[in-house]
A and B are shown apart, each in its own frame.
Chain A
């Protein structure tokens, strides 16, 4: 447990977090490994766990009928996968697939939501860390939408 706590607190997403919060978080965490091609989760499935990547790469994919899936983003070491565990009805909005050997911490969403409800300082700390990630991703998605490499823009 002690090593899991040390490793977890060493993750970039939790850098500098109050060790007291770290102790609360580690109770919801487990160590996971994904082989290339293995899904962390599928669209529509229950968002009951989210992931902090330690090493490897994860592709976020959208599927449409009769077309190959589209990778909308890839995430690597130090990054967080999944936000749907925060928002009812807690269902994933896309697939997440490991594209290389991937090691990650899984954080049990029900466990973490309960701890955040019970301790709003922890809840606020998590939100403070999550929100910038979500805003950065939204901005990146907007840049991708601009299709800047198209013919009229260089």
Chain B
């Protein structure tokens, strides 16, 4: 598999042109784009990896892959408009062209998690970088112990991939629990923070791997809750976000303590970064 993971162009700093094949509006400011290359094929990727997406003339930003790693026909990305570049990507119409380089970075340890109970914990947009891992796991769920997907968002209207969450929740081989920070009484699900969901799912802490993605505050509290429940720090994996420029370990923009998030991350084990997570402004 690793041979398929090399960045596509010979020059990893040169964005290749990719056409927007389809756009799906997820929420008011989030869209999912399916992209196909104008040159060459679609490189393979591992769940957790990201691409640098360039809105021509505006800016280039790191965006995780959110599609099925088993689909060789396209790259899928889910993007929230927060600034100029991300807004241009969210606004891209089908047929338009974006620059792309990648995939880059480390992956969720999906294969290594086989034989273990698996907790996949996402907050907000963090479900997008975890979705490829969920696809891979659910395609071979018999290889894992108990599987749970825990997802938290601000409110019901801001939840991503609701149809898929419902479909996963209907399966016998996975437990899906969703919570929101606030809701009106038309919402019949959980209200509260993501870590509070952990006590509602069954898992064996001594034999559990946890994959976490979301806002850093949520990651910190979730990791602390998992540690308190007895999950080993080395079996908790977090996807970190830092500003990036080169994405290939050259410029130092994404430095996070001793690690470069673009090369050593974005997926990092908690035992390596716990002390840094607790420090402000790293």
Contacts and interface: CB of A to CB of B under 8 A. Distances in A.
B190 A149 contact: no
Contacts of B216: 153-154
A3 interface: no
Interface residues of B, number: 34
Contacts of B191: 59, 71-74
B215 A144 contact: no
A146 B217 contact: yes
A46 interface: no
Contact of A154 (B158, B192, B196, B214): B214
B82 A149 contact: no
Contacts of A74: 179, 189-192
A10 interface: no
Interface in B77-100: 80, 82
Contact of A149 (B123, B196, B241): B123
A154 B79 CA distance: 11
Contact of B154 (A139, A140, A147): A147
A118 to B, nearest CB: 33
B265 to A, nearest CB: 14
A100 B189 CA distance: 10
A150 B221 CA distance: 17
| Residue of B125, B216, B217 ringed by the most chain A CB atoms within 10 A | B217
Nearest to A75: B192
Contacts of B254: none
A78 B217 CA distance: 26
Contacts of B184: 68-71
Interface in A27-48: none
A78 B192 CA distance: 16
B193 A59 contact: no
Interface of B: 80, 82, 123-126, 152-154, 158, 179, 181-185, 187-193, 195-196, 199-200, 214-218, 221, 241
Interface of A: 57, 59, 61, 68-74, 76, 78, 97, 99-100, 136, 139-140, 143-144, 146-154
Given A71-B187, A152-B82, A154-B123, 6 more contacts: A136-B196, A144-B182, A149-B154, A149-B214, A151-B80, A154-B215
